[in-house]
Structure 1
Amino acid sequence: MEICGLVTEKNKPVPLKSISVELLVQDHVATVSSTLQYVNEEERPLEALFVFPLPADAAVCHFSAKIGEQEIVAEVQDRETARDRYDDAVSSGQQAFLLEESAESPDVFRLSVGCLSAGQNAAVTIIYVTELAVQDNHSLRFCLPAVLNPRYTPAGSAAGIVSEISSGAVPYTLTLSVHVSSPKPISKLESNCTLNPLVFLHSDHTQATVNLSPGHMFDKDVELFVYYQDTHQPSAVVEAGVTTAPPGSLMRDTVVMISLYPEFPEEVMSSLASRGEFVFVIDRSGSMGSMMHRGKEAQMRIESAKDTLLLLLKSLPIGCYFNIYGFGSDFESFFPQSVEYNQDTMDQALKRVKEMKADMGGTEILQPLKHIYSQPCYPDHPRQLFIFTDGEVFNTKEVLDLVKSQAHSHRCFSFGIGEGASAALITGMAREGSGHAQFITDTDRMQPKVMQSLRFALQPAVLNISVDWTLPDDVTVDTLSPPINVLFQGQRTLIYAQLKGESSGGSEGTVTVKYSLEDQPVTNQLHFCLKPTEETQLSIHRLAARTLIRSLEQEERSGAADVEGIRSRMVELSVQAGVSCVHTAFIAVNKDSRQTVKGPLLQRRVPTYDALMQADCDLLLKCSLAAYVSAPKKKFGFMTKIQNLFRRGSKKPVLCSMSAATENQTRLHLKQAEAAPELQKDLLLQLVSLQKASGCWDLDSTLADVFGKTEDELTNQKPAQVDGSVWATLLALIWLYGCKIEQQVEWQFVAMKAASWIGSQKVGDLSQCVCEGNVLLGCQVTKETLGI
């Protein structure tokens, strides 16, 4: 049996029994310590393989194993050396542990636990540090991934990222304890999972603890949201180096992490851009036919994406350009090239959107991106790319390199849909494309998050960004982060820098960020103390090392001349900082465990829970049957693509088939779904769907239905001398502000267009019209609120 194969013996207990996680949050940085408890319950020696996800920007900095009372701590070595040591140890009967990053995606790790004797226990501890992402409500988000979806692997590829398919919940438990510490008072903690009550450790609320409630099944990502007072204030963390590290090295010198929050002038933010080319790229692979979540009234992912496209198309400014792409194993676009946004092109696009299905096979995003980038840009219309996917691709780094190579010509806004979307892909595309990333998980609604990103896309591009440092004469600075090429209003920007030289404890430094915004110069400045912050446990150094390693990886992949020199520098930095990279691995060998191995090692795959495909081959194919049934001429090719999900580096697909019972059940299910009456449409989306591209509404019965009125009631209450479309548009605005104010983030641009259109019309006594509209709809909205 190949090491990379699936479990072949069913109903055998897997060796992973429990995961215990300790989370230390210090301001904007999290240190995560995970302990995995293994036990070999079989009668022969065992090798366990565990493929699992980590946050995309995590820096793994510790790996150790405890067998009985003996603990062995792993060291970082060159990857090939570490693999050789592991193979040698296992073949000679020694216990060995190998932790390595996937070559295809930096958010996937593989842990090999070698030669566990029958009945033996082993506790493996992995520690990593990561930055916490700032949300639009100014909370900080931590995610403990539970789900690693199988990456779609096209035929002929030798890619090797595949997670395991588990029938039901994973057979191990999770405990999670959280300690939060910050200079700013902690307001609250929230989670998508049940937490015990928050306990404050100090009266000033700067430290607190909380635990995950017992019984959590770890069947979805654990999300934690930390709220501080004044989260969005600029800050600096200064961390002292290690005196035993080589002089001049990153680990020896002081490192600073700067968090900046640019604030744009109000006059710039009040007039969002009306130009641009908006390209929407929608995943239409089979997995998009899955539900958004497991709760009641859950939508299919593709249906939620279609509703979101409706909102986006209605929110676009007149005079911009747009196009829509759907992709799977292949791709297609609504128009040969982006077209000007008007009533006719909007209607054409909306008709196509209604017909979209999750029927395009696998997930291959590289080719549609290449096609989009090959299209010429429109002068004075900056390109804005919106990408929606559940993030299951095998060639993440190749995609990111492509986006980065085109960063000069566009901004990329990415959306990860559902549990298990690749954080490396989603955050990476936004980072390399100077955009913004969003994750839609659990019961999140897609529309508000997408409209928040549209607001970013409509902000003017920041140009000529420069960062200047003012430091004492005996201190110099090396900036470790890549140059800043994007700034958004209220969004955090991180800068890591290495400070060389000695300074007195009370010295102060200043970092100044200058840029141009709408041809106006803007300056943001932060003063910070050079005295190191205590008890940071080298987390800032390790995040800085990870940032530098990622830049070197990008340089290596871009075809730099001195590839060997770059690789050597990466390995040296990885080993010194104790942070893994694609060319290194953590290796631990228990040399005292040598014993005679009787019989061959059994290999066991340890499953990670998969929220999309929870059973064996039958259920995986069942989930994908919609495309199989709707495209009979392509059945064989499509089935081959599904089978390829099971390949792990082998040239030959694993043969699997659908049982007759499953196929019959699934066909029946699909017929019932097609025959089922359409769910009652959301009233807000009904209203939005009726708006014209110019921003107005027609006075007709369909609009009256949204308000729960008849067309006659609307017409009879219309003030004299007021045009029907003006009256209809005014009523729509009143209804939005009076009945749907809690969803304002979703319809804000629809309302802006409507208010602008009314402002361009000749209206008599507008205040009286608003009063009449309030009476008709039972609202209390002022003219000033409507923005007219």
Structure 2
Amino acid sequence: MTVPITPLKQDECAPLEDAGLGALRTDRGNLPLESVDIAADLAGLVAGVTVTQDFRNPYDVPLEATYIFPLPARAAVTAFRMEADDRVIEGLLKERAQARADYDEAVAEGRRAAIAEEDRPDVFTIRVGNIVPGERVRIRLTLSQPLPYEDGAATFRFPLVVAPRYIPGSPLDDAPAGSGTAPDTDAVPDASRITPPVLLPGFPDPVRLSLAVNVDPAGLDLRELRSSLHVVETGEHGVRLQPGERLDRDFILRLRFAASSSLVLAPDDGEGQAGTFALTVVEPVGDAVSAPPPRDVVLVLDRSGSMGGWKMVAARRAAARIVDTLDARDRFAVLSFDTVVERPEGLPSGLVEATDRHRYRAVEHLARVEARGGTKLLQPLREAQGLLADETRERVLVLVTDGQVGNEDQILGELTAGLTGVRVHTVGIDRAVNAGFLGRLASLGGGRCELVESEDRLDEAMEHIHRRIAAPLATDLAVEATDLELLPDTVTRPGSLFPGVPLTVRGRYRAAGPKAALAVRGLDAAGEPWLRTVGASTAKSPAVRAIWARAHVRALEDAYAAGDRSLEQRIVDTSLRYGVLCRFTAFVAADSRVVAEGGPGHQVVQPVELPSGWEMPAPSAPGYGAAQAGMPRSAPAHLNRRLMAARPQRASFAAPASADSAPPASPAAPGARESQLTSGPAGPGAAAVYVRALLQEELARLHAIADRPAAERRRHLTDLGSRLGGLAANLPELLPVAHELLRAEAPDTDLDALWHRVIELLTELTGGRDKPAAPRRSFWKRS
């Protein structure tokens, strides 16, 4: 049975004295996720992290809890464990369909089980089934991640919330692929897996967060630690979050030290000489090229609704600074977009010379840009790609955005071939940025991804961006081995080398001799030969292998998204061989002990915080899947946005927002007709059609559980009442019965009479038809 998460009045909840910050006691119980603990060990430029999530069942029946959460985009998840009732069950990595089958079988048999799945490089879903009443279940994830390094500083970034994402496309007829709030569409076939419900602002955080980072410089000269967005306590060996911090923004720690070129060989365990290598080449900032060649630069600026507030201010400043770096030899274009693409007034539609007059017009246009509308990112990138057609010039595309879109695979698949020879730089501006997508997009063009989490860091970030738009130190790079036998199809693409930014190449080797070394050859900015040679050192580091394996699998996944479907089995085999999670595999842990006869009686999707700096999108905000919390999870996902405005202040355990805190309505954008109803047929009549489709599913469900025990049927009717209340604006006939159903669990209610009356009403409203559930297909293979 699915439990809708309904709003609480102030007199319906009270703090628990011994349950920690933000915990609540209610008649309906607490949310299942009690705490998140993150323990990171940083050694040089590698981090090993353990994430612990504690779930508790506050209900009187077994519970299945679902949590949609982020992890670092470049992290390799290598282990998964479930702990409950003094039992420890290690997770097994399996092909995703098999892992799901094992999980479903265990849950149906009444055994505890948990499954961890990757839906994006930085978005994951955990389901924990058959948590018995009052029980706590602990989930542990182990991962390794590289630390990006630039200008003498490394960054440890750990995301803590999945931000709402714009979901384009038309709804699919299939059953939802996940438990989120957005419909699956032809552009984002798994949208319902990446859109968790969102708590309204002002509600106390129900999840206790702890995060500690232990720092081992590993021989490097560590000079400074800086935390960007959180308040931390500094100790002898690292930092720890102060109590009370929230899961609403990325944790960012910067470590300042001097890195140098290195080649690390990490032999495999067991016999043989095979292993994994990691090559790092660092060139000082002083070697920057003073006179870059003539360039064609297209700047694409995201002005969608999610960019409101400080993000829009920072994006305008960043875009204007980029325009100011151009000189008279360059040509450029500026495209600002939401649901439409706009160009500066007074400038031609194509590339223009970067004269003072043209740059002034562009900066004047940027100063007037305000946030509005949806994030229709594909069209402006297509237009930018079309402008960058002159192969005789240095071609540069710069995207300034928060990256909060759900159709990443569609964008990458359509743009990959056309970006050959174009250097793509991405500037991600947000406190909970979609770093996975922006990094993948930048890597297609051999560019860089710069993340800006606050206005305070904008100037520092713009210095990096300026150098990246300029010519790199070396291009056309290739790796040559000495006394080291490489496996060619495992070596990552070198890309280009920029001053102050390490060039990292990873791969596998079959054998290594005592004088093993790697040479990187290429051409400098003047077209002259460029060479660096680095000798090898050996280290026993499983993280080197895991980080390479995840990067290698991700490159294969990107090629799969671009259309090479023959790679599916290779992706699965590589993931299983090296023990790293990917989108085609999953970790599953299933207990052998039966603890819940009949399986879970409740299903709850854990709501997440609204990201720091975001305003709650208005009901008319187009396309944001998690814009409004509290849509009943049992409703088909394609109805959630259409019915949002009709639902009377429902939120996932969230206090109703006051009038003072209500966000202002977004300015009407061109193409504003493409509101939330545009992902399907528009208009009240179409909404009624969709509501009737929902009622057919509710009617079929009533028939299916007609023989269940009375207590379960009463709970189902109560939940159904809350769902029908949200639909009554489109079908007023539902309102009286919805109110009556909310009292279904009262002792004086005639259950059988009420049951039959509801069936008669729904049969009349749906024309007497029960709608069978749509067959579920593998969502990651939908076309």
TM-score relative to the length of structure 2: 0.72
- Tell me, what secondary structure is at the counterpart of 1:362? coil
Q: Deviations over 1:121-162 (max 9, x none)?
A: 1111001111101133x2111112112111111241243320
Indicate how the Cα distance of structure 1 residues 254 and 376 shifts in structure 2: closer, same or farther if over 3 A, else same.
Answer: closer
Counterpart contact for 2:382–2:415, Cα < 8 Å = no
Partner residue in 2 for 1:464: 476
Corresponding letter in the other structure for 2:143: Y
Partner residue in 1 for 2:276: 255
Counterpart contact for 2:467–2:498, Cα < 8 Å = no
- Tell me, what secondary structure is at the counterpart of 1:269? coil
Inter-partner Cα distance in structure 1 for 2:663 and 2:164: 24
How far did residue 611 of structure 1 move? 1.6
Counterpart contact for 2:316–2:367, Cα < 8 Å = yes
Partner residue in 1 for 2:150: 135
Indicate how the Cα distance of structure 1 residues 442 and 603 shifts in structure 2: closer, same or farther if over 3 A, else same.
Answer: farther
How far did residue 239 of structure 1 move? 1.5
Corresponding letter in the other structure for 1:311: R
Inter-partner Cα distance in structure 1 for 2:630 and 2:467: 37
Note the 1:351-366 alignment, pairs <5 A. 351-359=364-372, 361-366=373-378
How far did residue 265 of structure 1 move? 8.4
Indicate how the Cα distance of structure 1 residues 85 and 453 shifts in structure 2: closer, same or farther if over 3 A, else same.
Answer: same
Corresponding letter in the other structure for 1:65: M
Tell me if 1:584 matches 2:585. yes
Tell me if 1:220 matches 2:233. no
Indicate how the Cα distance of structure 1 residues 78 and 672 shifts in structure 2: closer, same or farther if over 3 A, else same.
Answer: closer
Indicate how the Cα distance of structure 1 residues 502 and 573 shifts in structure 2: closer, same or farther if over 3 A, else same.
Answer: same
Inter-partner Cα distance in structure 2 for 1:283 and 1:17: 36
Indicate how the Cα distance of structure 1 residues 621 and 107 shifts in structure 2: closer, same or farther if over 3 A, else same.
Answer: closer
Partner residue in 1 for 2:421: 409
Partner residue in 2 for 1:288: 307
Note the 1:308-707 alignment, pairs <5 A. 308-334=318-344, 335-359=348-372, 361-375=373-387, 377-378=389-390, 380-460=392-472, 462-471=474-483, 475-478=485-488, 480-501=490-511, 503=513, 507-517=514-524, 518-529=526-537, 532-534=538-540, 536=541, 538-560=542-564, 563-564=565-566, 566-597=567-598, 601-611=601-611, 620-622=616-618, 650-654=637-641, 655-657=643-645
Inter-partner Cα distance in structure 2 for 1:669 and 1:650: 25
Indicate how the Cα distance of structure 1 residues 638 and 552 shifts in structure 2: closer, same or farther if over 3 A, else same.
Answer: closer
Partner residue in 2 for 1:48: 65
Indicate how the Cα distance of structure 1 residues 78 and 302 shifts in structure 2: closer, same or farther if over 3 A, else same.
Answer: same
Counterpart contact for 1:479–1:496, Cα < 8 Å = no
How far did residue 213 of structure 1 move? 3.0
Counterpart contact for 1:140–1:227, Cα < 8 Å = yes
Q: Deviations over 1:2-37 (max 9, x none)?
A: 6xx973575641111111221111211111001111
Partner residue in 2 for 1:270: 290
**Which residue of the other structure, out of 197, 202, 211, is the alignment partner of 2:240?**
211
Inter-partner Cα distance in structure 2 for 1:398 and 1:174: 35
Counterpart contact for 1:169–1:219, Cα < 8 Å = no
Indicate how the Cα distance of structure 1 residues 264 and 304 shifts in structure 2: closer, same or farther if over 3 A, else same.
Answer: closer
Inter-partner Cα distance in structure 2 for 1:645 and 1:120: 25
Partner residue in 2 for 1:187: 223
Counterpart contact for 2:262–2:280, Cα < 8 Å = yes
**Which residue of the other structure, out of 148, 172, 196, is the alignment partner of 1:163?**
196
How far did residue 118 of structure 1 move? 0.2
Inter-partner Cα distance in structure 2 for 1:265 and 1:521: 19
How far did residue 462 of structure 1 move? 3.4
Inter-partner Cα distance in structure 2 for 1:391 and 1:261: 29
Paired residues in the alignment total 613
Bigger shift: residues 147-156 or 306-315 = 306-315
How far did residue 595 of structure 1 move? 3.5
- Tell me, what secondary structure is at the counterpart of 1:409? coil
Corresponding letter in the other structure for 2:616: L
Inter-partner Cα distance in structure 2 for 1:302 and 1:50: 30
Bigger shift: residues 368-377 or 382-391 = 368-377
Counterpart contact for 2:248–2:432, Cα < 8 Å = no
Inter-partner Cα distance in structure 2 for 1:501 and 1:343: 57
Q: Deviations over 1:661-706 (max 9, x none)?
A: 9999589986999xxxxxxxxxxxxxxxxxxxxxxxxxxxxxxxxx
Counterpart contact for 1:613–1:620, Cα < 8 Å = no
Counterpart contact for 2:80–2:141, Cα < 8 Å = yes
Indicate how the Cα distance of structure 1 residues 107 and 409 shifts in structure 2: closer, same or farther if over 3 A, else same.
Answer: same
Point out which structure has higher relative CO (alpha carbons under 8 A, 6+ apart).
2
How far did residue 66 of structure 1 move? 0.6
Let me know the Cα RMSD of the aligned residues. 3.3
Inter-partner Cα distance in structure 2 for 1:74 and 1:667: 44
Counterpart contact for 2:92–2:589, Cα < 8 Å = yes
**Which residue of the other structure, out of 79, 82, 86, is the alignment partner of 1:62?**
79
How far did residue 403 of structure 1 move? 4.6
Q: Between the two proteins, what is the percent identity of the paired residues?
A: 23
- Tell me, what secondary structure is at the counterpart of 1:113? strand
Q: Deviations over 1:162-204 (max 9, x none)?
A: 03312335311122222222122332322123333331xxxxx
- Tell me, what secondary structure is at the counterpart of 2:98? helix
How far did residue 442 of structure 1 move? 3.8
Inter-partner Cα distance in structure 1 for 2:662 and 2:591: 56
Bigger shift: residues 600-609 or 651-660 = 651-660
Inter-partner Cα distance in structure 2 for 1:587 and 1:523: 47
Inter-partner Cα distance in structure 2 for 1:509 and 1:240: 13
Corresponding letter in the other structure for 1:607: P
Counterpart contact for 2:300–2:399, Cα < 8 Å = yes
Indicate how the Cα distance of structure 1 residues 353 and 663 shifts in structure 2: closer, same or farther if over 3 A, else same.
Answer: farther
How far did residue 413 of structure 1 move? 1.2
Counterpart contact for 1:480–1:547, Cα < 8 Å = no
TM-score relative to the length of structure 1: 0.72
Partner residue in 1 for 2:213: 178
Inter-partner Cα distance in structure 1 for 2:508 and 2:105: 39
Indicate how the Cα distance of structure 1 residues 449 and 577 shifts in structure 2: closer, same or farther if over 3 A, else same.
Answer: same
Inter-partner Cα distance in structure 2 for 1:30 and 1:262: 23
Q: Deviations over 1:508-550 (max 9, x none)?
A: 3111111111111111111123xx314x2x1111111112212
Corresponding letter in the other structure for 1:454: H
Note the 1:104-123 alignment, pairs <5 A. 105-123=120-138
Counterpart contact for 1:78–1:571, Cα < 8 Å = yes
Inter-partner Cα distance in structure 2 for 1:377 and 1:7: 52
Partner residue in 2 for 1:782: none
- Tell me, what secondary structure is at the counterpart of 1:541? helix
Partner residue in 1 for 2:261: 234
Inter-partner Cα distance in structure 2 for 1:13 and 1:380: 63
Counterpart contact for 1:75–1:578, Cα < 8 Å = no
- Tell me, what secondary structure is at the counterpart of 2:212? strand
How far did residue 74 of structure 1 move? 0.3
Inter-partner Cα distance in structure 2 for 1:43 and 1:220: 34
Inter-partner Cα distance in structure 2 for 1:370 and 1:343: 27
- Tell me, what secondary structure is at the counterpart of 2:456? coil
Counterpart contact for 1:155–1:644, Cα < 8 Å = no
Q: Deviations over 1:463-517 (max 9, x none)?
A: 3312101016xx55546233222211221121112221365xxx13111111111
Counterpart contact for 1:19–1:34, Cα < 8 Å = yes
Counterpart contact for 2:432–2:611, Cα < 8 Å = yes
Note the residue ranges of structure 1 that are not aligned, 5 or more in a row: 200-207, 293-300, 629-636, 674-788
Inter-partner Cα distance in structure 2 for 1:669 and 1:106: 31
Indicate how the Cα distance of structure 1 residues 670 and 541 shifts in structure 2: closer, same or farther if over 3 A, else same.
Answer: closer
How far did residue 583 of structure 1 move? 0.8
